[in-house]
């Protein structure tokens, strides 16, 4: 059968065995009038005053939103928010891009994210987790993490957090408090947030918010300086908005996460010998660091010793910025890499993605189709897949005459689980 999967901006056609199980999210219904639905949501929000009434004309406003690696429809959301705040002078409003530990945003990327008119309308800046002059110390969490958050965010009179809710491999779901922590946290706080013990905790997983140490730390940090208003959305595979969840940053997020779970969680009857996955296409498949999401979505449904065939463009490389590339190349086997990361004295930002990759490679072989040269893929302990359809056939043949195959065309935007292990 022919299956079109997400890959970069254009997609990719694969020829897979006829018996392949295609696992797709329940497609959310696009809102007929997104702008009207937005106005309704922010004027009658969840457990909060209306946005227009919340913000005074004399107040300084910071609007935090996600960076270029996320599909947040900022080109629509930010102008709508600015229109709702038309009584506030533009010079009193700052858009703060929550880069976490990611690289800075280029001017061209900002224009694509927000539109030229918004760039000319208000000040837009990147958070820089690595520059201590950008952050202030707020205190210490119950687990002993020093909390640093962005200075401009903390000094604003009103704080608005914008994002979209999707399943997340560590925090259960993105959106909500995660837009602030780790979005605008200092690097020491980000590193603690992703330490080996917390990332390796079985409760730090897809679709789980309760007792999740990653989610708990995000909530604890954000409670020290919470946003006054949340604008979160759910999206379908065409990036159309399927729901608005606006108001109190915790209550609105919980309602949005429940809606997201109904779209994203999909039961399967058993594990498979071969699972084909993606990282959801652009912008999420720009680098291997982000692709741990698509790999982690496939891992629970592949048999031990089976094969994951990953298709991701990697237009941004492994990437070249950050530490991920050096970490995955620091040891020659996944077991040695995991031992290095889990050692008590090891703490390097970006280690969390390398840790998850090593754990997956101890469970299954990964064949990787991308735009990168084969030697670069091999340097990350992965097997290049120049022709992913052929690689699937080869892996199926090696698995035997009764081999089974599944495909996740949208990668981590669907979270499959074996039916006997229904997520709470």
Report the C-alpha gap between 8 and 286 in whole angstroms: 7
Taking alpha carbons only, the member of 141, 184, 142 closest to residue 161 is 184
What confidence score (pLDDT) does residue 328 get? 95
183: left (phi over 0), alpha (psi -120 to 50) or beta: alpha
Rounded Cα–Cα distance for residues 25 and 233 (Å)? 16
Q: What is the pLDDT along the chain (424 residues), one digit of tens a residue?
A: 999 999 999 999 999 999 999 999 888 899 999 999 999 999 999 999 999 999 999 999 999 999 988 889 999 999 999 999 999 999 999 999 999 888 889 999 999 999 999 999 999 999 999 999 999 999 999 999 999 999 999 999 999 999 999 999 999 999 999 999 999 999 999 999 999 999 999 999 999 999 999 999 999 999 999 999 999 999 987 889 999 999 999 999 999 999 999 989 999 999 999 999 999 999 889 999 899 999 999 999 999 999 999 999 999 999 987 789 999 999 999 999 999 999 988 988 888 899 999 999 999 999 999 999 999 999 999 999 999 999 999 999 999 999 999 999 999 989 999 976 544 4
Q: Which three-class secondary structure string do you get for the chain? A: CEEEECCCCCCEEEECCCCCEECCCCCCCCCCCHHHHHHHHHHCCECCCCHHHHCCCCCCEEEEEECCCCCCCHHHHHHHHHHHCCCCCHHHEEEEEECCCCCCCCHHHHHHHHCHHHHHHCEEEECCCCCHHHEEEEEECCCCCEEEEEHHHHHCCEEEEEEECCEECCCEECCHHHHCCCCCECHHHHHHHCCHHHHHCCCCCCCCCCCCHHHHHHHHHHHCCCCCEEEEEEECCCCCEEEEEEECCCHHHHHHHHHHHHHHEEEECCCEEEEEEECCCCCCCCCCCCCHHHHHHHHHHEEEEEEEEEECCCCCCCCCCCCHHHHHCCCCCHHHHHHHHHCCCCCCCCHHHHHHHHHHHCCCEEEEECCCCHHHHHHCCCEECCCHHHHHHHHHHHHCCCCCEEECCCHHHCEEEECCCCCC
| Fold of the domain built from segment(s) 34-263 | Rossmann fold (3.40.50)
The residues, ordered by sequence, that sit 6+ positions from 33 with a Cβ below 8 Å of its Cβ are none
Which residues belong to CATH 3.90.226.30 in the chain? 2-23+268-418
Q: Token digits for 96?
A: 């703060």
**Positions of CATH 3.40.50.11440 in the chain:** 34-263
Q: What pLDDT does residue 420 have?
A: 65
Do the beta carbons of residue 393 and residue 178 sit within 8 Å?
no
Give the strand pairing for 172-173 and 167-168.
Answer: antiparallel
Question: Left, alpha or beta for 112 (phi > 0: left; psi -120 to 50: alpha)?
Answer: alpha
Residue 82 backbone phi and psi in degrees, to 5: -60, -40
Q: Which phi-psi region, left, alpha or beta, contains residue 55 (left: φ > 0; alpha: ψ -120 to 50)? A: beta
Q: At the fourth CATH level, which superfamily is domain 2-23+268-418?
A: LarA, C-terminal domain (3.90.226.30)
């Amino acid at each position: 059968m022919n299956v079109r999967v997400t890959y970069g901006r254009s997609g990719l056609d694969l020829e897979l065995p006829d018996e392949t199980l295609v696992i797709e999210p329940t497609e959310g219904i696009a809102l007929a009038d997104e702008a009207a639905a937005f106005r309704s949501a922010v004027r009658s929000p969840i457990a909060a005053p209306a946005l227009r009434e919340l913000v005074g004309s004399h107040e300084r406003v910071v609007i935090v939103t996600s960076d270029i690696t996320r599909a947040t429809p900022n080109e629509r959301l930010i102008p709508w928010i600015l229109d709702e705040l038309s009584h506030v002078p533009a010079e009193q409003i700052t858009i703060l891009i929550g880069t976490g530990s990611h690289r800075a945003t280029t001017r061209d990327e900002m224009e694509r994210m927000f539109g030229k008119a918004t760039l000319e309308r208000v000040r837009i800046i990147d958070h820089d987790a690595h520059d201590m002059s950008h952050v202030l110390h707020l205190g210490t969490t119950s687990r002993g993490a020093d909390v640093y958050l962005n200075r401009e965010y903390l000094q604003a009179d009103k704080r608005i957090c914008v994002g979209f809710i999707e399943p997340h491999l560590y925090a259960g779901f993105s959106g909500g408090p995660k837009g602030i922590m780790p979005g605008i946290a200092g690097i020491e706080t980000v590193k603690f947030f992703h330490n080996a013990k917390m990332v390796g905790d079985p409760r730090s997983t897809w679709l789980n918010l309760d007792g999740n140490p990653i989610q708990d730390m995000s909530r604890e940090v954000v409670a020290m300086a919470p946003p006054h208003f949340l604008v979160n959305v759910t999206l379908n595979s065409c990036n159309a908005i399927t729901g608005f969840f606006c108001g109190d940053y915790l209550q609105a997020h919980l309602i949005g996460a429940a809606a997201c779970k109904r779209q994203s969680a999909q039961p399967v009857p058993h594990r498979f010998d071969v699972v084909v996955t993606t990282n959801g296409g652009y912008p999420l498949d720009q680098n291997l660091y982000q692709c741990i999401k698509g790999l982690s979505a496939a891992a629970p449904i592949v048999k031990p010793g089976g094969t994951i065939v990953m298709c991701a463009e990697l237009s941004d490389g492994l990437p070249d910025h950050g530490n991920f590339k050096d970490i995955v190349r620091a040891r020659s086997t996944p077991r040695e890499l995991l031992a290095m990361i889990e050692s008590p004295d090891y703490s390097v930002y970006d280690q969390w993605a390398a840790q998850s990759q090593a754990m997956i490679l101890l469970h299954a072989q990964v064949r990787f189709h991308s735009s990168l040269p084969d030697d670069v893929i091999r340097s990350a302990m992965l097997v290049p897949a120049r022709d992913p359809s052929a690689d699937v056939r080869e892996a199926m043949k090696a698995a035997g005459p009764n081999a089974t195959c599944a495909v996740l065309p949208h990668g981590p935007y669907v979270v499959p689980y074996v039916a006997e292990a229904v997520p709470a």
